[in-house]
Structure 1
């Protein structure tokens, strides 16, 4: 008995759907999801993999089927029949991809909002100055002007001043040598921010860490504690806000297991928030080409229990106090800061060249 083509089409469609759904959830292309934000990003990625697998199998299946069924037979020297087109088919294979792209775009934007990527209150609106109202056409020019007026507050400068109130942060940043840029969102010149998630919008972060990128290391300071570390330690289940800048060139803070990445830019104060949900040690990688030793700019993010984090904080505070007392007791007046701090910074994983750059 010959099976109708409609039945074959239905069976093939069901098979492709099941295979695509299975592969979309079992591709094993991503590392472990170690933050709450990673779960949202993985959902989007899995959806795109499901759709991509289905389209790939459908297109390649039709291609192989047609190549086999309509191949030239031995002895056949005739030309193929002329086919001028099929309007319904062209509409179909144009409309379906358009619908898929629009759907993924809406889903992507929703995920971006959920992880705190879009803040409508941060959109820049160039104010119309009072003097511009007296000049013909000046009001329109002021509205279209992308550059903030000189009287507008410099948010980067304000955030930098706030971070520099912490002595440990001020010791590793050279903010006095790098002018803080003014945000101009209309032309794309902004300090990138991934803020609080939708559920925690308007709430202050549970932990704030200042991060400074420099060739070729990450330095982490915990405000009001005096702690400076070459590793980032965070407690599990608490929302962490990372305030970043760079001392020299652009770097990028990227932890693959968190599914988040943010640039550290000289003259700009960038921000990222995340909530770790799985204990472990995760690689922090600079994802922006920052010089010849860019590949070596790596460190660890340690996600641990609250008790282990509190213990680590106490150990760091005690170590800093011991180092300070030792410094007061043994530092000769003729030693330079680099020479004196070299043996102490070695324990923190900071080499003398990096220390020299910090003081510069």
Structure 2
């Protein structure tokens, strides 16, 4: 397994999923895997069924007249002979083995990209592409340097805290929202996920990310939203009577729209920004002080009719 991991890591640069400057969304990677397996599976099915029908027709029971009169049909209790069966079997097994091994390696490399995430170079190149900055001219190089200094090219890291029965999101500047995550389009988003009480699991089927929320531990996930709009995130770990109400909206906006909103959270503070976004903002000092750790007791629950109930962790 270590050898396969080493070879797969070395070949990442040669596969489309890891092309330099090409940050692919997890949804695109999973859709590509599904499409490839669907096409190949359909092709194999057509070949197998077609070959079976062909042989069934060729060796059908007839009156012995016509072009198939000289066909030596198998007799009851006798093994068929001739026909180059050994060569056909060897050829079919060899081709099948090559296809299966190739699919396994390709799928492993694709999932390794999902597991490890894009490199910082890929993330910065993606941000440059979003901003329309090329590295060829001096003016673009200056703009790139300025963007690097301001942190506009870095991935956006957001702390996610699960609690019965809501999700809390803490931005790099300490701004905290409950039940809504606002992110820019075509930007690498990294999530650090933990829990304040019991086990939870956050995921979005449309954005194809999923991560456990464990008290006292952090798990990470990432995604890239290609289209603006509102996506839903759910809890996928049974966590109490309000589990089905533990949802959050992921609002994807343009980069300019996100920058304007984020600047307002810096200028007006968390409470004012929360009122503007629908009352979801709460006061939080900084990223570390806003993070909820295990043992500090569950904070006030979020939404849902059963939000006041608690499940005691074993």
Cα distance, 1:244 vs. partner? 0.2
Partner of 2:32: 43
Structure 1 distance, partners of 2:226, 2:106, is 23
1:82 matched to 2:84? The reply is: no
Deviation, 1:99, is 1.1
TM-score, with length taken from structure 2: 0.58
RMSD of the alignment, in Å? 4.2
- CA deviation after TM superposition for structure 1 residue 196, in Å: 4.3
Indicate how the Cα distance of structure 1 residues 227 and 310 shifts in structure 2: closer, same or farther if over 3 A, else same: farther
1:106 has 2:105 as partner: yes
Report the Cα distance in structure 2 between the residues aligned to 1:290 and 1:93, rounded to whole angstroms.
50
Distance 1:61 1:240, change over 3 A: same
In structure 2, the gaps of 5 or more residues are: 1-22, 64-72, 125-150, 284-298
Matched, 1:232 2:161: no
* Aligned-partner Cα distance in 1 for 2:55–2:48: 11
214, 219, 242: which one aligns with 1:265: 214
TM-score, scaled to structure 1: 0.51
User: Which residue is 2:272 aligned to?
Assistant: 318
Contact 1:234 1:309 in 2 (8 A): yes
Q: 1:71 to 1:291 in 2, by over 3 A?
A: farther
- After the TM superposition, which parts of structure 1 deviate over 6 Å for at least 4 consecutive aligned residues? none
Aligned length: 229
The CA distance in 1 between the partners of 2:198 and 2:59, in whole Å, is 58
Partners of 2:246 and 2:304 within 8 A in 1? no
Counterpart CA distance in 2 for 1:268 and 1:245 is 6
> Over residues 200-232 of structure 1, what are the superposed CA-to-partner deviations in whole Å (9 max), with x where a residue is unaligned?
49x984322111223443222224333222111
**Deviation per CA, 1:222-268, whole angstroms, max 9, x where unpaired?**
24333222111101122211000123444333222323332223332
Question: Is 1:283 matched up with 2:232?
Answer: yes
Describe the SS at the equivalent of 1:91.
helix
CA 1:39 to 1:81, structure 2 compared with 1: closer, same or farther past 3 Å? Answer: same
SS in 2 for 1:241: strand
| Structure 1 stretches lacking a partner, 5+ long | 1-33, 119-193, 328-340
